[in-house]
């Protein structure tokens, strides 16, 4: 039963004086708004919210997880999706409820497959620091013989992606132990292995780029580079010449040479 003293409680069937008063106040306000030609409710269209919930469930989230993330009841979501009893699905929602549900981002189920680009880049970055595959496998609770698959797979389970991301958050700024001769050899081999493959360290990656699939990453880098001023792409080209291979530096360097070529063609055309 809703809280006494509210219109919701009156609509639910309660006829206590305070609930009747709340209903009268609501109707008086509604009538005044109608007389002034103003909207009689602050409720918003539920259609975009329903479509968002449907997209979340298609991504593998259950209604319980969505409700917990949004801070609403599962009954609210059930009514939104399917209606209640013989009633149709909810058509209008309170703005706060709509905003809370729309703010929920997809969290795939543990067994769902997700793009492995972010997982692969994180593992590579940690190996650049000197973390051996054996040490990383141990921290992830994996067999070393299976760990190498993380460097080649195109998809991993969401649970694996989250575990690698959590480990990366712990170690991205931490050097591996090198107290013993064996540890020093392992770290040296890891760094050499990464260097031979041109892998990038953690500092080369912006957080918002780390998980983009390869094609989306290239498009975003190109967009950012084209938005740079000439002085910025010149600075990027100088950083590249000093050995910086951060993705945005590489993209900005390409943009630098693209602009120089365009300028050269314009001079030739004007000659």
10 Å Cβ neighbour count for 65?
Answer: 15
Full DSSP string of 150-206: GGT-SEEEHHHHHHHHHHHHHHTT-PPP-SSHHHHHHHHHHHHHHHHTT---GGG--
Picking from 124, 113, 117, 17, the residue whose alpha carbon sits closest to that of residue 59 is: 113
Read off the pLDDT of residues 151-194 as tens digits, 9 standing for 90 and up: 999 999 999 999 999 999 999 999 999 999 999 999 999 999 99
Whether 23 and 10 have beta carbons less than 8 Å apart is answered as: yes
Return all residues near 76 (Cβ < 8 A) that are at least 6 apart: 67, 90, 97
Look at residue 7 in the predicted model and tell me its pLDDT: 73
Read off the pLDDT of residues 215-244 as tens digits, 9 standing for 90 and up: 999 999 999 999 999 999 999 999 999 999
Q: Which helix (H) or strand (E) holds 130?
A: none
Half-sphere exposure for 114 (CA within 13 Å, toward CB): 22
Say how many Å lie between the first and final Cα of the chain, rounded.
84
How far, in Å, are 13, 26, 46, 157, 260 from residue 7 at the CA level? 10, 7, 21, 47, 68
The pTM is what? 0.68
Given pLDDT bands bounded at 50, 70 and 90, which one contains residue 257?
Answer: very high
């Amino acid at each position: 039963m809703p809280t006494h003293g509210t219109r919701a409680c009156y609509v639910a069937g309660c006829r206590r004086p305070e609930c009747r008063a709340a209903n009268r106040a609501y109707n008086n306000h509604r009538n005044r708004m109608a007389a002034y030609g103003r909207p009689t409710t602050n409720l918003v269209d539920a259609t975009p919210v329903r479509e968002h919930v449907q997209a979340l469930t298609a991504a593998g989230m259950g209604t319980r997880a969505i409700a917990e993330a949004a801070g609403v009841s599962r009954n609210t979501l059930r009514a939104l999706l399917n209606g209640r009893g013989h009633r149709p699905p909810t058509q209008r929602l309170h703005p706060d409820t709509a905003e809370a549900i729309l703010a929920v981002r997809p969290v795939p189920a543990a067994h769902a497959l997700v793009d492995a680009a972010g997982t692969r880049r994180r593992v590579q970055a940690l190996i650049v620091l000197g973390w051996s595959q054996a040490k990383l496998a141990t921290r992830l609770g994996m067999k070393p013989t299976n760990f190498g698959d993380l460097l080649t797979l195109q998809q991993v389970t969401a649970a694996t992606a989250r575990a690698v991301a959590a480990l990366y958050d712990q170690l991205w700024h931490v050097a591996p132990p090198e107290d013993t001769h064996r540890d020093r050899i392992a770290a040296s081999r890891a760094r050499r292995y990464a260097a031979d493959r041109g892998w990038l360290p953690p500092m080369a990656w912006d957080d918002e780029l780390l998980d983009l699939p390869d094609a989306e990453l290239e498009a975003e880098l190109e967009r950012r580079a084209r938005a740079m001023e000439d002085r910025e792409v010149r600075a990027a080209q100088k950083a590249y010449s000093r050995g910086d291979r951060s993705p945005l530096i590489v993209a900005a360097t390409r943009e630098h040479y693209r602009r120089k070529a365009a300028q050269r063609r314009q001079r030739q055309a004007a000659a």
